[in-house]
Structure 1
Amino acid sequence: MIIYVLLVCSFAVATAEFVLVGLLPQVAADLGVSVPAAGQLVTAYMVVVAVGGPVATVLTRRLPRRELLAGTMALATVSAVASAMATSYPMLLSARLGSALAQALFMAVASQVAMASVPAERQTTAVARLFGGFALATVLGLPLGSLVGEAFGWPVTFVAVAVLAAAGLLGVLVFCPRVATPPPTGVRESVGGLFRPALLAGFGVTLLALTGFVAAFTYVAPMLREVTGLSPGWVSVGLVGYGLGTIAGNLLAGRVRPDAISRRLPAAVGALAVILLAQPVLLPVPPIALAGLALLGAAAFLVVPLVQTWLMGQVDAGSTGLVAAVNISVAGAAGALGAALGGAVLTVGLGPAWIGPVAAVSVLAATVVAAGIARQRAPLPDVTATPTRAEAG
């Protein structure tokens, strides 16, 4: 049951992240700021997620996992309520930073709880379900949040997010098992361990693969409009298809056993590279373009949980949270690099159709790194945390 609770929690925190994108014009008008200024709320959010996750994970490394998870969801709930009540730009910014910190810490702690709550052979499934909340947020959370905001005002959207987060908090309090607190680890030892070659390779796959993916996805609407010739309505249909693809990829990732990830990862990353390389061929034909967008989402959300699970399997229980948080931060950095890469392709005049092939270079490099991981695979340590006698009693 806890895996489904974590799915609800991740859906709530992911919706809190994504939903502002569809509400920027309303927020800017109500708070008396420009749309670019309102857009800085998104930038600030991502900076906190990237930087705050590892820092918060280190600072809370000695706290009980169940209580820490509940605390992050409480912070997510309070921050969403504060966002709904904000009457000025500084108030909304402060509330958004609280939501960002909650999300950053949640992903690290929830990954630990997910892996500790199931047998070793189901750990990939557990982590995939956790990321499934983000996939659902792209399909349901963002569009529904935008519709609610347009109909009733953007504060009501954040009220809905607060209700979701509160439901997740209740689920954690009722269903989350008492997971053993990781053994004490010094800050220097924890941080130093991040520079092991195996971990650097895993972070490299995340950075290179997601940089290429985000480069293409950021400009998917111009691609579908200008190259494929789709109307705005059909672009929306394509984005729904993308969201369904992310769910399919997530489900497929959950079927890969942890001890098979290193063997499957090169093919998964390679599939993403092939889809990007094929963009100039796929985009001119509308049905194929829409199918290609769904495949893009499926490939990306196949890679992400596989890498996260593999990385957490390379360290002892005391370091899994930090490794998970750092990988999320690397993903955030990849997002910034990918958006810049896609923009650079357009700036030099190559056109939207060529973003995919250019972005594929980064993903092909990730495929090479993943192949290196497959060649050097070693037995994964058992990182399933077992409740201590005191906690179990």
Structure 2
Amino acid sequence: MGSAEFLLAGVLPAVADDLRIPLSTAGALISAFAVGVVVGGPPLAVLTLRWPRRTTLVAAQVVFAVSIAVGLLTDSYPVLLASRLVAGLAYAGFWAVAAVTAISLVAPDRTARASGVVVSGLSLAMVGGGPAGALLSHFAGWRGGFWAVVALTAAGAVLTLVALPATGAAGRPDARRELRTMRRPQLWVVYAATLLTTAAYMISYNYLAALLTDVTDVPAVWVPAILTLFGIGAFIGLSVGGRVADGRPHLALLAGTTGIAATSVLLATLAEHAWAVVPLVLLLGVAGFVLNPALYARVFTIASAAPTLAGASTVSMFQLGISLVPALAAPALDHGAGVGVVPWIGAALAVVAVPVILLGRRPTRTPSSRSGAAPAP
């Protein structure tokens, strides 16, 4: 499902040519998906609160696959735009319960690792939805990659139905309790850290192709392979972060944030040297995704009594951080700065995130529960 987000960026010119629309208009297809994810997560978390979690996950995947298929069967831009919005909503509905379902299946001291396994799908999506999806689309047309997404999502729905135990929320679902949880200031500190750190590494990732070709002078044929290193680094970061975050979430948060800052500075200063940039792309993926399990661990600790809405809002903050990247980079680029300035912006965002993370270090005492709680760190 995440591949559908990363794939579109790689085939956007082909979409614009096929539908006979300007490239800027085609770019709204990316925004439509992002808007669906940002605004859809929290409301869908509340609306599906009384549903069995397996039912929610399967329904979200089915709606996602159908909406993508509808968009592929039309040459109408408005229909395709609407299908992307619905797909984003379904994606948000899936994430509203995915992580909390995973942590309900493991012991309380493994919650961060379990959420890291779920989020690791996104690192694989960067590989599958980016280079691999674009390669498939090169041979089968831009729709080819998306038909693969539809098929794999449908298979995922069947596997979820067959393999996942029927689980529901522990105790009686309570929307008011979920909403009261959102008033906790520490939760919003974590959300601020999520937004800042996500934007910090994604701003460099989104402009890496341009940096590699325009500044590093890497042949275009090598760009997909180098971008794949970011996905590999993300997978490594999630694996390491999940283990560290179960015991010391703030260590993982600070290590990841300082890693993003340091890697971004090195990218900016050594951008002309391929021998430095290539390993730094890998390290940026490691540093960025070390954070994710720790962020989830903090959310599920603070909101242990009502994790569904809080977890869904975390996903919205991740997506919002990604969505803000163009707006953060535009002022510098519009005023004539080269793409080499983008990693400096990422480094600045990471530096701003450090005091936010330190602000959230105060221990949180909340009752634990099998629905997603972890012992207070």
The TM-score, its normalising length taken from structure 1, stands at 0.88
The answer for the alignment partner of 2:274 in structure 1 is 286
Size of the aligned set, in residue pairs, is: 372
Kindly provide the amino acid, as one letter, of the partner of residue 324 in structure 1.
G
The yes-or-no answer on 1:76 pairing with 2:61 is no
Deviation at 1:308, TM superposition (A): 1.9
Q: Which runs of 4+ in 1 moved over 4 A?
A: 182-189
Kindly provide the amino acid, as one letter, of the partner of residue 232 in structure 1.
A
Change (3 A) 1:45 1:379: same
Superposition RMSD on alpha carbons, in Å? 2.1
The yes-or-no answer on 1:218 pairing with 2:206 is yes
CA distance in 1 between partners of 2:131 and 2:164 (Å): 30
The answer for the alignment partner of 1:30 in structure 2 is 18
CA distance in 1 between partners of 2:139 and 2:214 (Å): 30
SS at structure 1 position matched to 2:248: helix
From 308, 329, 339, the counterpart of 1:342: 329
Change (3 A) 1:104 1:205: same
Of stretches 295-304 and 88-97 in structure 1, the one that deviates more from structure 2 is 88-97
CA distance in 2 between partners of 1:204 and 1:311 (Å): 12
The answer for the alignment partner of 1:391 in structure 2 is none
Kindly provide the amino acid, as one letter, of the partner of residue 66 in structure 1.
R
* Residues 10-46 of structure 1, C-alpha deviations (whole Å, 9 max, x = no match): xxx1012222222222222333322222211111111
Q: Equivalences for 1:220-239 in 2 at 5 Å?
A: 220-239=208-227
Q: Which runs of 5+ in 2 are unaligned?
A: 373-377
Change (3 A) 1:246 1:51: same
CA distance in 1 between partners of 2:8 and 2:225 (Å): 21
Change (3 A) 1:127 1:27: same
Deviation at 1:206, TM superposition (A): 0.7
The answer for the alignment partner of 1:389 in structure 2 is none
The yes-or-no answer on 1:47 pairing with 2:35 is yes
CA distance in 2 between partners of 1:296 and 1:380 (Å): 34
SS at structure 1 position matched to 2:166: coil
Q: Equivalences for 1:71-220 in 2 at 5 Å?
A: 71-184=59-172, 187-220=175-208
The yes-or-no answer on 1:367 pairing with 2:354 is yes
SS at structure 2 position matched to 1:173: helix
CA distance in 2 between partners of 1:326 and 1:71 (Å): 20
Change (3 A) 1:39 1:190: same
Change (3 A) 1:178 1:185: closer
Contact 1:215 1:340 in 2 (8 A): no
From 251, 254, 258, the counterpart of 1:266: 254
* Residues 191-249 of structure 1, C-alpha deviations (whole Å, 9 max, x = no match): 34213121011001111112222222222222222322222123233212112111111
Change (3 A) 1:265 1:240: same
The answer for the alignment partner of 1:255 in structure 2 is 243
CA distance in 2 between partners of 1:103 and 1:63 (Å): 17
